[in-house]
Structure 1
């Protein structure tokens, strides 16, 4: 089962890696991934009908670690779909309040499930037979249920909780980046309002700006390092009204040339020269 699951998860992750989560078609994309992951879980459920776990440890590992990886991704994309379809129209401030409310709901889930969250995150195993073996669920305990996961032969109740934890952690990152993008868009709008009278353009070579962009992202000084190069290149393109498409090819060429940081070295020289000239004027 481990080999089968690893292959399935690798295929799913490859598909997810190709997704731009902050593109305009995220609603259609997230819905497509929900349907895709539902199909994957259904196939896995069918395989499990005839599969016999070799030991309690294997069954626990499946419901504690493997199945939640897929179910967590399903819940993650479903939440994105729900959040984006219900996102209000209006000012950036209205949208910002809406996203912060969704972040608050993640905090509520964390607080409501603190004991189990600590158990899972501390890698405890003492209650694993109760949490992650089928047929051991005590109905007097409050365990979550979901429309995706009703089959008792394919669920222990707590594997869903683990999936929710994984989904919420991914969703927290998504929502925080969504806020950052919103702030970035607001900044761009403000800058565009100013630059309608005084346009600011990057008049150097495109590859020079790409080199600068990679350097800034690599420094970790943009959003505390919580930004992808693709996002930052889009931002620079918007700010300077320049097409930075093909930035990765430019980066590869940069790595292969003799002076890999030619533009950054030139900037350092120019700045040092300006400082020396300023000193000479005194």
Structure 2
């Protein structure tokens, strides 16, 4: 049941992200929209869990290790974007860049102090499962381990405390990529005209397919530019946020039929256009 719920949750979030668009020019409105959606989704999932419960311990562990953190992590992420963007300077000058540089440094510092040095972070990142019953089963908090006081204020029916820790890790990684893109040299200054007039009107997956094709073919910087750097350039240039690039690419690899649907479409479109001149 939980794996099915997990798939439904991921599809629901992805569909809402595509609907929101997450373009930089409307980031405040769209991050608020995602925050409201994810808060409602978390509430619905909570009601479902409290009503139906868990079939067994593996089911419970999977929920608190995978399902809930994916919702809560994105909720923390979009809410943080909304708070950052509503407080930032309005122009794109030095004050603007300094603001996002400071946010990025604060994030790195908090991550270093509160997360990456912890035993749990090392456990989670290593992919271990031997202590999952301690971390992802309700009512198993060990007070003698010296918990953060926040642990005593959690919902005992819907949190193991460590599901929140996983959500923090997910949110911080997403936020790090977002802030890193913001602190890059303002790419808009290198192009004439108003870039906000350019809009990507195909699907995000189509753009991701194109980006990977350009990267692996060595078309940009002889293949040494790095997929993240290329992605940030496209995101900034086209006022779009692509989200989890690697997860999207993994799904493309599992496609039935052609795995390069958009590149196939480009070839057909160009061939047809060339034929018109004959």
Change (3 A) 1:76 1:8: same
Using the TM superposition, name which of 125-134 and 222-231 deviates more: 222-231
Equivalent residue, structure 1, for 2:267: 255
- Counterparts of 2:147 and 2:93 in 1: how far apart (Å)? 38
1:143 Cα shift? 3.8
Equivalent residue, structure 1, for 2:147: 142
Aligned CA RMSD, in angstroms, stands at 3.3
Secondary structure, aligned partner of 2:226? helix
Stretches of structure 1 that go unaligned for 5 or more consecutive residues are 193-212, 236-249, 263-282
Task: Give a deviation string over 1:99-145, Cα, whole Å, max 9, x none.
Answer: 12222222223322222222111011232222111111134533474
Answer yes or no: is the 8 Å Cα contact 1:76–1:170 preserved in 2: yes
Higher relative contact order (CA closer than 8 Å, sequence separation 6+): 2
Q: 1:224 aligns with which of 223, 226, 241?
A: 226
Stretches of structure 2 that go unaligned for 5 or more consecutive residues are 194-209, 240-261
1:151 Cα shift? 1.9
Answer yes or no: is the 8 Å Cα contact 2:38–2:75 preserved in 1: yes
Task: Give a deviation string over 1:246-265, Cα, whole Å, max 9, x none.
Answer: xxxx96664126879x9xxx
Secondary structure, aligned partner of 2:167? helix
1:216 Cα shift? 5.6
Equivalent residue, structure 1, for 2:130: 126
Secondary structure, aligned partner of 2:24? coil
Q: Does 1:185 align with 2:188?
A: yes
Change (3 A) 1:105 1:150: same
Answer yes or no: is the 8 Å Cα contact 2:6–2:67 preserved in 1: yes
TM-score between both structures, scaled by the size of structure 1:
0.67
1:220 Cα shift? 4.4
1:171 Cα shift? 1.0
Change (3 A) 1:11 1:179: same
1:158-173 matched pairs, under 5 angstroms: 158-173=162-177
1:46 Cα shift? 0.6
Change (3 A) 1:127 1:216: closer
Answer yes or no: is the 8 Å Cα contact 1:110–1:117 preserved in 2: no
Q: Does 1:42 align with 2:43?
A: yes
Change (3 A) 1:46 1:92: same
| Number of residue equivalences | 223
Change (3 A) 1:22 1:177: farther
Answer yes or no: is the 8 Å Cα contact 1:145–1:160 preserved in 2: no
Task: Give a deviation string over 1:226-269, Cα, whole Å, max 9, x none.
Answer: 2348547649xxxxxxxxxxxxxx96664126879x9xxxxxxx
